[in-house]
Amino acid sequence: MKLPFRILGALTTLWILYTLYQVSRFGGAVVIDPGTISRIMAVRNEDVITTAIGLTYHGLAGAVLVVTQVLVVSGALVGALLSTGRRRVPAIGVLAAWTGLWLGNALWLRTHGWQHGTSTIGMAVALALALGWVATAIADARASRSAEEHSS
């Protein structure tokens, strides 16, 4: 289980770091100037702008959301990489949920005319990797637990 776990973890980590960079880059503008509106994903149809849920930042609430997202996802990433056994599973679950937020928004915006099919496919692959990482973490935790029970 070690090699697949490490490969899934490494690929998911790259995706998470990329999304944290995007949130820090776009959302950071709102932290500096709350009057700014930052949209990581959005579609404009005629005069209507449809934005990504949870990835659009404006005002004080947007600044708080950016800081919270960066801290929670960064903390989960550190926990996923440094923890072992069962303690690792919730952290990886947070990362899978974060990836799901991105994919869910991409699919939702696609229904409004978002034309980035390759990005959507990439997000689907990232979610599959994250879920695979969760599954292997659970299996690893169960194997460790079973080995502990048999050695006692």
Q: In the chain, how many domains are there?
A: 1
* Domain residue limits at 39: 2-141
Nearest to 86 by CA among 151, 12, 143: 143
Is residue 152 domain-resident? no
More confident residue, 14 or 143: 14
Q: Is 73 exposed, middle or buried (0-12, 13-18, 19+ CB in 10 A)?
A: buried
Reported pTM? 0.83
Is residue 146 domain-resident? no
Is residue 89 domain-resident? yes
pLDDT digits (tens, 9 = 90+) for 32-65: 998 999 998 888 888 888 998 999 999 999 999 9
Is residue 45 domain-resident? yes
Instruction: Please report where in the chains the tokens 């696609």 appear, as a residue.
Output: 110
Is residue 17 domain-resident? yes
Is residue 147 domain-resident? no
Q: Residues 6 or more apart from 117 whose CB is under 8 A from it?
A: 110
Is residue 150 domain-resident? no
Bridge partners of 44, per DSSP, are: 49
Q: Could you tell me whether strands 42-45 and 48-51 are parallel, antiparallel, or unpaired per DSSP bridges?
A: antiparallel
Is residue 67 domain-resident? yes
